[in-house]
Chain A
Amino acid sequence: MKDPLAISALQIGSLFLVAFGAAGVVSSRNPTNQAIAMSFYGLVLALMFFVFQAPDVSLSQLVVGALAMPLMILLTLGKAAARDLEKARRRKQP
Chain B
Amino acid sequence: MNKPSLQPGSGGRFVRLAETARAAVHLSIDGAPVTALEGDTLLVALLTHGRRVRSSEFGDGTRAGFCLMGACQDCWVWDEAGHRLRACSTAVVDGMRVRTTPPASLWPVTPEVAARERGEVFR
Q: Do A and B come from one complex?
A: no
